[in-house]
Amino acid sequence: MTRTAQVAVVGLGYVGLALATEFAEGGFRVIGFDVSRERVDAVGKGLSYIPDVSSTDLRVLAEAGLLRASTDAKALASADVFIVCVPTPLRKTKEPDISHVLAAVETVSAHLQPGQLLVLESTTYPGTTEEVLLPAVERRGLRAGETVFVAFSPERVDPGNKTFPTSEIPKVVGGVTPACTEMARLLYSQVVCRAIPVASPKVAEMAKLLENTYRSVNIALANEFALICRRLGIDPWAVIEAAATKPFGFTPFYPGPGIGGHCIPVDPLYLSWKAREAGYEPRFITLADEINRRMPEHVLTLVVEALNDLGKCIRGSRILVLGVAYKRGVNDVRESPALEILEGLIRRGAAVTYHDPHVPSVAVNGTRLATCDLRPAVLAAQDCVLIITDHPEIDYQTVVDCAPLVVDTRRATRDVTNPRGTIVNL
């Protein structure tokens, strides 16, 4: 392959920037498009804002002219391939919000020419590629599989995962026609370990929803299991680890303070919405969502009860929350259960601070909080330290040695020895 095609990546978030970097490192010329001036300027300066792309690598690619970014849609005119990686959040009604996809497709379709490839990566409900992208192509007088190529390839980025970077995660590709599938397969096979063709865009769209629904349901099972174990006085983590010794028929999932990020709290509800449209009520998915979304309230109850056991009221208590990102090693707070927990603590009258090595500040119910340091004196001054995300940069031995009360939702303190205070686990 000559790799002379120019690849346009529309949307430079966690998925888009990682993918754009992968194509640029593979020798393609890449133009990134985003409506955020802040992101575009960062790319131009070689300053990465996601953990999976280093600023050093980004700067090298930018200086070599392999990767550039723009907020001007006219920059897309020179592209041969368009990959859409924009957000697909939920509305307040928990219905899909594909407004970003619609806007991106409208922008891209104005530049579509014969022989080009258009791929949607944004997670969405089955049918989006054929119901949204295909009509936009046809309005241009183009025919998928003949004059242009249209496909869906679900993103599979796992932010902060050093074991499986973008290049090591197989890509599923489903085109509107066999020719579209093959064109998308050829493209991705240049930069990822394997590109797997499937029968249609709907299969590819549904595969992504199954992946994250599987995780949502199993996390819900672990969370409910933890609630049951607490009532029975059993350590759920010890039970899960015992069960995980079975070499077949069991995959361990672990309880936590709730679910967060751009996928697990959202994607299953895209499937639920589509299922209801087809006249089917997806009870399993709905129940899992309800269990997972109850966990922040359970964490708040643990804090209240733990303080009561020490003769303290939550109102006026000084509480330091460790970790507000939705997972370790990232700066992403989207759908993070920590935000709901922080809001609940503030609403109950607690004096709240937080520490997160990756999140310098965060807005909670209109109020912006800034991360504090973890000096022993700061820890000792707290009535309670609440662990939400277990970042490896945090010294939990010092936390336990200094804090009079630790509520640990992630078992970050499980290997800590000789605690002088009280530890309450999920």
Catalytic annotation, pick one of 180, 229, 263, 384: 263
Query: Distance (Å, rounded) from C-alpha 157 to C-alpha 165?
Result: 8
Tell me the residue length of the chain: 426
Known catalytic membership, residue 263: yes
d(CA 359, CA 389): 12
CA dihedral for 5, 6, 8, 13, sign (positive or negative): positive
Cα 294 off chain centre by: 20
Contacts of residues 253-256 at CB distance under 8 Å and 24 or more positions apart, as own/partner, are: 253/215, 253/218, 253/219, 253/221, 253/222, 254/219, 254/222, 255/219, 255/222, 255/223, 255/225, 255/226, 255/295, 255/426, 256/219, 256/222, 256/223, 256/295, 256/337, 256/409, 256/410, 256/426
Question: Catalytic residue positions?
Answer: 263
